[in-house]
């Protein structure tokens, strides 16, 4: 039987559940640091798909590319094979050309594992130069935006 290792666990708030695989770990059974980036990117991908209404890549749906401009991590806990984490995602900031997706991972009992930020920037599809966030994308992002003050309460 094949178990899913990553899936949407809830939509309001948006949560991705992830199960740690043995292959994510070193011989001592501890998750490699680099795998945390995979966990973040997987959650951001599912969240972006949700923001796009399941209609494809979020930026492309709104006529722009959205490559990563920046990424930040705070590692809080260690993970082992078969551990489960819930990664809650929301939009924390919307600027002129870029925005921040905040992802906080916790064990099901609420114990924190990591706090990360993924920051895409909008670029034109015909040329890789920055462009303002289209109004339609801004509206989609705003529907899942929480202020930094509110985020601190749930982090």
CA 15/CA 12 separation, integer angstroms:
8
Residue 151's pLDDT is: 47
List pLDDT tens digits, range 36-74.
Answer: 999 999 999 999 999 998 877 898 899 999 999 999 999
Residue 155's pLDDT is: 41
Neighbours of 112 (CB within 10 A): 15
List pLDDT tens digits, range 97-152.
Answer: 999 999 999 999 999 999 999 999 999 999 889 999 999 999 999 999 997 655 44
pTM for the model stands at 0.91
Which residue from 10, 90, 75 is spatially nearest to 36, judged by alpha carbons? 75
Please, what are the domains in the chain? Answer: 6-154 (3.10.129.10)
């Amino acid at each position: 039987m094949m178990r899913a290792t990553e899936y949407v666990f809830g939509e309001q708030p948006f949560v991705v559940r992830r199960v740690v695989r043995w292959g994510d770990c070193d011989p001592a059974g501890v998750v490699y640091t680099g795998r945390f980036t995979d966990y973040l990117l997987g959650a951001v991908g599912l969240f972006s798909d949700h923001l796009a209404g399941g209609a494809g890549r979020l930026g492309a749906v709104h006529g722009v590319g959205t490559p990563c401009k920046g990424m930040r991590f705070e590692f809080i806990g260690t993970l082992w094979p078969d551990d489960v984490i819930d990664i809650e995602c929301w939009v924390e900031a919307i600027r002129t050309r870029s925005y921040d997706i905040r992802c906080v991972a916790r064990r099901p009992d609420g114990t924190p594992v990591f706090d990360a930020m993924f920051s895409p920037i909008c670029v034109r599809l015909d040329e890789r130069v920055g462009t303002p966030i289209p109004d339609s994308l801004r509206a989609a992002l705003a529907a899942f935006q929480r202020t930094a003050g509110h985020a601190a309460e749930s982090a």
